[in-house]
Chain A
Amino acid sequence: MENLILQKDKLPELIEKLSSNHVLYGPTEENGFSLFKQISNFDELNLKYLLTRVPPKSLIFKQTETLFKFTPGRKGTVTSTEINEEKSLIFAIRPCDARSFKILDPVFEGNFEDPFYISKRKNTVLIGLTCNSPERNCFCTSFDDSPGSTENVDILFTDLDDRFYVEVVTEKGKNLIKSVEDIFEKSTKNDEDSKRNIVTKSVESITRKMDLDGLVPKLDKMFDHELWHNTAQKCIGCGICTYLCPTCHCFDMQDESSLREGARIRVWDSCMYPEYTQHASGHNPRAIRMSRVRNRVYHKFSYFPKNEDITACTGCGRCIDYCPVNIDIIDVIEEVGVISNE
């Protein structure tokens, strides 16, 4: 399908049309920051912010998910939760956040298939939005990604001031566009160039860079290095880095019940909490913060690439932005480099 143009004044119409037959999620302003929420009209949409505070993984990998229901007793029953096949759509997802699903897919669609994730992923169309002005802690370019990458989205919008340049990437995207084709216009070579210019400018404005060269073997050699102790000393274990990370996917399972019924639920968990690894015996293999902080770095930059051939980081910069004690992942990786070169 060739690329299209959407005039900005047509956007409300598009939102309205799409939300009539899809659950449409878009960034909304919430108490001074941005959050993905279900929207039904254009006014709720707010594209002022670059990244939403909580990443869109929360729409596919829900914070709380019911796995099955049960009733206790001799005649007790177990009922599996119905899989929700609702068609949904995430509008204005940034390319880095879209890339997070590429990292989450092997977790939930690999050896163990998670029906909840898979059905949501399958039924969700990702409409990306190019980042015209990256923020100070953006570093997606370090992962061969770009602020205008079409790689992980179904459709990509690029803001060209008075209009959007629309690239339709996948079959899913094509099918969606077909239903609302009449509000789009044909694009010209000129529009394509404008997009390219915007992306080039964006890439240039990204100042931070993470050196991933040979990182896995480097990390292998320094598991017991005192760097981890030094980094972890200031960590307060708040878990913001993991809750706001678009690629963190650890969860906890618990039974919740009243007298007559109950359910097994799955909730997000964080490796920054001591309870995360606490055994029933009381023993905790990661008893100190040093081992927890180290685990976070190793999981993202060593174990995950070893297992799935992809680094579990998208370069969105949320963990750097919101860490209250300035544990800067780029800085940590830089130090790893310096130490291994010594």
Chain B
Amino acid sequence: MTATETNSEMEEFEPNIIGFLCNWCSYAGADLAGTSRIQYPPNIKIIKVMCSGRVNPMYVVNALQQGADGVLIGGCHPGDCHYQHGNLLARRRMAILKNLLEFIGIDSRRVRMTWVSAAEGRKFAEVIKEVTEEIKKIGPMKDIQRVNEW
């Protein structure tokens, strides 16, 4: 495969990114980005959860199995969690999950976490941009994707 071919293939690749955003901050931040008409890549598909602490690591693995190329978890800034410290528990979990995925051979950059408050529409758009760019570079997630052998 020549370099140009690779490039053109990469350009065509539009990643699927699943965003688990917390109801109170990140989701509201995404909302603000929308109402403020800030442009961001359409690659992200958002699933609202009540708190980033609600994100079971299995959600992440299942998303990667079912066609997501990346997963973004959005929570409130430390101290702002509406459930006091759900985001801080999530932070611990994701730190270990990312390391485990990396160790198994799944690029840990596919799993990202961010703090976005309800007022940070612009930051939200930037995060999405950055994540999308990065996952485009990494390429599609094929390794553990569910193949329905039937």
A and B in direct contact, judged by CB atoms within 8 A: yes
> Which A residues are closer than 8 A to B by beta carbons?
64, 66, 69, 81, 256, 258, 261-263, 265
Q: Which of B132-150 contact A (CB under 8 A)?
A: 148-150
Chain B residues with Cβ below 8 Å from A256 are 148, 150
Chain B residues with Cβ below 8 Å from A261 are 148
Chain A residues with Cβ below 8 Å from B150 are 66, 69, 81, 256, 262-263, 265
Closest to B150 in A: A263
A83 to chain B, nearest CB (A): 14
Which bucket holds chain B's interface residue count? under 10
Closest to A66 in B: B150
Option from A64, A258, A262 in Cβ contact (under 8 Å) with B149: A64
Chain A residues with Cβ below 8 Å from B149 are 64, 66
Q: What is the bound-complex CA distance between A256 and B65, given in angstroms?
A: 14
Q: What is the bound-complex CA distance between A288 and B66, given in angstroms?
A: 37
Chain B residues with Cβ below 8 Å from A262 are 150
Q: Which of B102-150 contact A (CB under 8 A)?
A: 148-150
Closest to A69 in B: B150
B66 to chain A, nearest CB (A): 8
Chain B residues with Cβ below 8 Å from A66 are 149-150
- Sample of 7 A–B contacts (CB below 8 Å): A66-B150, A256-B148, A256-B150, A258-B148, A263-B148, A263-B150, A265-B150
Chain A residues with Cβ below 8 Å from B66 are 258
Chain B residues with Cβ below 8 Å from A64 are 149
Q: What is the bound-complex CA distance between A263 and B149, given in angstroms?
A: 9
Q: What is the bound-complex CA distance between A141 and B1, given in angstroms?
A: 60
A160 to chain B, nearest CB (A): 42
Closest to A68 in B: B150
Q: What is the bound-complex CA distance between A191 and B59, given in angstroms?
A: 63
Q: What is the bound-complex CA distance between A157 and B149, given in angstroms?
A: 36
B15 to chain A, nearest CB (A): 20
Q: What is the bound-complex CA distance between A64 and B149, given in angstroms?
A: 10
Closest to B148 in A: A258
Q: What is the bound-complex CA distance between A69 and B148, given in angstroms?
A: 11
Q: Which of B70-115 contact A (CB under 8 A)?
A: none
Q: What is the bound-complex CA distance between A7 and B141, given in angstroms?
A: 50
Q: What is the bound-complex CA distance between A129 and B81, given in angstroms?
A: 67
Chain A residues with Cβ below 8 Å from B148 are 256, 258, 261, 263
Q: A64-B149, A258-B148, A262-B150 are in contact. List 10 more A-B contacts (CB 8 A).
A: A66-B149, A66-B150, A69-B150, A256-B148, A256-B150, A258-B66, A261-B148, A263-B148, A263-B150, A265-B150
Q: What is the bound-complex CA distance between A256 and B148, given in angstroms?
A: 9
Q: What is the bound-complex CA distance between A280 and B149, given in angstroms?
A: 28
Q: What is the bound-complex CA distance between A46 and B135, given in angstroms?
A: 43
Chain B residues with Cβ below 8 Å from A263 are 148, 150
A71 to chain B, nearest CB (A): 12
A202 to chain B, nearest CB (A): 41
Q: What is the bound-complex CA distance between A81 and B149, given in angstroms?
A: 12
Chain B residues with Cβ below 8 Å from A258 are 66, 148
Q: What is the bound-complex CA distance between A4 and B108, given in angstroms?
A: 59
Chain B residues with Cβ below 8 Å from A265 are 150
Q: What is the bound-complex CA distance between A81 and B150, given in angstroms?
A: 8
A216 to chain B, nearest CB (A): 41
Q: What is the bound-complex CA distance between A66 and B148, given in angstroms?
A: 10
Q: What is the bound-complex CA distance between A265 and B149, given in angstroms?
A: 10
Chain B residues with Cβ below 8 Å from A81 are 150
B59 to chain A, nearest CB (A): 17
B144 to chain A, nearest CB (A): 16
B8 to chain A, nearest CB (A): 30
Q: What is the bound-complex CA distance between A262 and B148, given in angstroms?
A: 9
A81 to chain B, nearest CB (A): 7
Q: 1/0 contact trace for B48-77 toward A, CB 8 Å? A: 000000000000000000100000000000
Closest to A64 in B: B149
A80 to chain B, nearest CB (A): 12
Q: Considering residues B66, B148, B149, B150, which has the most beta carbons from chain A within 10 angstroms of its beta carbon?
A: B150
Closest to B67 in A: A258
Q: What is the bound-complex CA distance between A64 and B150, given in angstroms?
A: 10
